[in-house]
Amino acid sequence: MTDFKKLATVALTIMLVQGVLALLISSAASAQESLMITLDNDRDGLISLREATGHRTLLENFNKIDSNEDGYISLDELEASQISKG
């Protein structure tokens, strides 16, 4: 096997694994994950106070949900809160 073929095989394998992972993640997306995607306007994986203004319940409970008090709601904190889109 040439180096190029080896490289191509490795690249193909990585793409395949990433595709399968993406499929798994998207099919397993929880209500909290879809809420995070909806509200996280700057795509940093966290909901800031400004981004939380798009969701009334989240905004009202922001300080309660932000358990590590860093001013942002992470997906873990969102999942712990059990708040969903509705």
Site for Ca ion, rule CB under 5 A: 40, 42, 44, 46, 66, 68, 70, 72
Nearest distance in Å: CB 58, Ca ion = 13
The CB-of-12 to Ca ion minimum distance in angstroms stands at: 34
The residue (of 10 and 60) whose beta carbon lies closer to Ca ion is: 60
Say how far apart CA 51 and CA 57 lie, in whole Å. 13
Q: Pick between residue 10 and residue 37 the one whose CB is nearest to Ca ion.
A: 37
The neighbouring-strand residues paired with 73 are 47
d(CA 55, CA 20): 32
Q: How many CB atoms lie within 10 A of CB 48?
A: 16
